[in-house]
A and B are shown apart, each in its own frame.
Chain A
Amino acid sequence: MIVLKVATRLLAIVGKELIEVARRPGALFSLVLGPFLIMALFGLGYDNSGISFRTLLVVPPGSGLSTQIADYQSFVAPGITLVGIQTDVESARQALRDQAVDVVIVAPTDLQANFDAGRQSTIRVEYDIVSPVKANYALILAQQLGYAVNQQIIERAAAKGVSEAGSLGVTSAIPPAVIASPTRADPHNLAPVDPNLISFFGPAVLALILQHLAVTLTALSLVHERHTGVFDVLRVSPVSAIEIVLGKVVAFAVLGAAVAALILGLLVAAFHVPFLGDVGLVGITIGLVLAASLGLGLLISVVSDSERQAVQLALLVLLASVFFSGFVIDATQFLPAVQAVGDLLPVTHGIRLLQDLMLRGATTELWRLGILLGITLVTLATTWLLLRRALSARA
């Protein structure tokens, strides 16, 4: 009889939660399909053509260099769009200040003379960029430009040398281009799939949406009850803290599993994200990401004083997830202490495992499943203890 009563209570809590979610389809839509559609739009809309800087070349008078754009196209690296050539440095800088151009390249005035005299010339590259990413990119482009110009100079010098040697009856089998660039890289990506944005972010989006869904729904679910008369009725009733926690976990796990299946199906069928790994392992990973996220959400729910605070904490978890989980920036780029913060988030492990399992077919980091299980147990046990205390009388 006791078992039947416990089962009755559990089923009632599960049913109540699912009915409440079903009666608010807008909330479910914004929690699941909203982020998914944004990510899909991002993946489909991002053309991956890279950053392109509008560049002005300054050729000082008397330098002897050409003022025709066409003559410089071979020097221009990808990412630089040569928009004009000027002879006056100050007017070029004004254009930079006016943000009419992004980069100004000032050619050396006496390149040939310096070279002939055995001195280095300086190609001055100026830019007015506040974005650290773009500034780094501009720096790399400036260095590449230097290499390209150097390579051209060496190649021309080699050609000149070969020509002069030929006139003296000395021949060389080595072409000037090889003298200038004796080696070239031949990259091969051995990953089982061709990298593309949707494939790479697909598993990460799945993990992030599942965590966000679970955290937000559970955080709001319990905090609402705690701060209304419902909790007074529950407190008088024979329902226990463990039954409430289990009921909610089961309800949202069912919901999360359905959402996971839906998103996974969309990713694979509609967006052609590879699924190379073992279905069972992917299922276990998704289950543990959900369980750990539910524990985190319930914990937020029992420590929050209001629905507003619960929403704020859920958003903080989302923000931390975007920054520290490896979703955008590789987690290894952070200090170890900050990496540890990321490791407290279920999504960190979910992203890594799902990307490995789906895109590589296997993972060398199965230990992350243990961390997910640990997060689940710790958060649920803490929630249970705090809820049990909350269900007892206020002193």
Chain B
Amino acid sequence: MTDPAPVQAPPPVILLQHVCRQYADVVALDDVSLTVAPGTLLGIIGPSGAGKTTAVRILTGGLQATSGAARVLGEDPQRFRRRTRERIGYMPQLFSLYPDLTAGENVDFVASMFGMLFLRRRRRVRAVLELVELWPERGRRASDLSGGMQRRLELACALVHDPAVLFLDEPTAGLDPILRRTIWTELHRLRDGGRTIVLTTQYMGEAEECDAVALISAGRLVALATPDDLRRSATGGDVLEIATSRLVDGEALVALPMVRAVDQHSGRHLFVTADDGGTALPAVIAAIEASGAEVTSGREFRPSFDDIFATLVGRHRAELGGADDGRYPVTSTTTADEGAA
């Protein structure tokens, strides 16, 4: 009897290994390592000036890493072959179209640069302009389009040659919520079709839309995980929001085995952090009711990603010796350890 052949994970589409990038005295990226599997939608998220665009530009070959290695589709971005370049799409952060060309001409030009021949080009130009809802505006000059329309046009240019790997630098910046929803739906569709997408955004809430999130702050990779894992990492577990009919002693709940911490906002309003919210909720309700109070509502609390990132970045800074204590921003926290003591 022979052992079954081991299932090999597909090679990563994108790889950064200990990448640093320095501009004179400023370290834009500091020892960043990450891998992105095929068909993943990775969001690089962080505050302005964190190093997001630098990372994307290193991956697209626009910048050279000061040290470390970068690979996209198995190749060094500095030495992409033509065939590889045809499989990569890129949308820069700044307006990058020809203002005197119409919307249709801009997309057609970019498609031509990627070597698309006439018939396929004509089909794809229409498809992507319809996708970004600019087909009726195809005859208008780029300079006459609004800022949001120009952004959509750039996205159409990045998508027109149907790339296998897509780098989008703040693709939803300046777009209205409805169009952002449309764009995310399309990005999910592309991801589901096997495309690998790396995008940057300053909208922390958009982390929810990504398969994986790389949180960058001051050039360092603070976290790389799924959105759920990031949330758990920030809060220390699942958070339950409990409201009671009368005052309860939150510290008593810390004694429960699955409870990690209790944040008591008021006498009748608690945030309970537990390893597994689903398991802990009945036990917490039972414990409160055993104390004579009635639970008027109990649900899993999902903090905003703004709060989550603030927590993680603060914690990271604290680890580096900054002033922030890196704790999740709630008041009157009692941890299981403190309770036990």
List chain A positions with a Cβ less than 8 A from chain B.
4-5, 8-9, 11-12, 15-16, 19-20, 23-24, 228-230, 232-239, 392-395
Contact = CB atoms under 8 A, between A and B. Distances in A.
Contact of A238 (B92, B100, B115): B115
A20 to B, nearest CB: 5
B203 interface: no
A237 B124 CA distance: 17
B98 A230 contact: yes
10 contacts: A8-B118, A229-B94, A232-B57, A233-B92, A235-B61, A236-B89, A238-B83, A238-B85, A238-B114, A395-B64
A393 B90 contact: no
B95 A228 contact: yes
B92 A12 contact: no
Given A4-B117, A9-B112, A16-B101, 17 more contacts: A5-B117, A8-B112, A9-B113, A11-B112, A12-B113, A15-B109, A16-B105, A229-B94, A230-B96, A233-B96, A233-B110, A236-B85, A236-B90, A239-B113, A392-B61, A393-B63, A393-B77
A395 B57 CA distance: 12
B97 interface: yes
Interface string B49-77: 00000000100111110000000000001
A344 to B, nearest CB: 32
B31 interface: no
Contact of B115 (A9, A15, A16, A232): A9
**B contact patch SS:** mixed
B92 A19 contact: no
A232 B112 contact: no
A5 B115 contact: yes
Nearest to A23: B100
A233 B77 CA distance: 14
Nearest to B87: A238
Nearest to B82: A238
B4 to A, nearest CB: 41
A230 B93 CA distance: 11
B320 to A, nearest CB: 28
B88 interface: yes
**A contact patch SS:** helix
B78 A393 contact: yes
Contact of B63 (A5, A230, A233, A394): A394
B122 to A, nearest CB: 12
Contacts of B57: 232
Interface residues of B, number: 38
Contacts of A15: 109
B114 A237 contact: yes
A218 to B, nearest CB: 16
Nearest to A10: B112
A384 to B, nearest CB: 17
B117 A234 contact: no
Nearest to B118: A8
Given A9-B115, A238-B113, A393-B62, A232 B96 contact: yes
B100 A20 contact: yes
A20 B85 contact: no
A24 B100 CA distance: 8
B86 interface: yes
B306 to A, nearest CB: 28
Contact of A8 (B62, B105, B116): B116
A230 B64 CA distance: 19
A322 B273 CA distance: 81
A11 B108 CA distance: 12
B60 A230 contact: no
B101 A238 contact: no
Contact of A16 (B60, B77, B109): B109
A54 B82 CA distance: 75
B157 interface: yes
A247 B232 CA distance: 55
9 A-B pairs closest in CB distance: A229-B96, A12-B112, A5-B115, A229-B92, A238-B82, A237-B113, A238-B85, A236-B90, A393-B64
B104 to A, nearest CB: 11
Interface in B277-310: none
Given A229-B95, A237-B85, A8 B100 contact: no
B171 to A, nearest CB: 13
Contact of A392 (B78, B97, B100, B108): B78
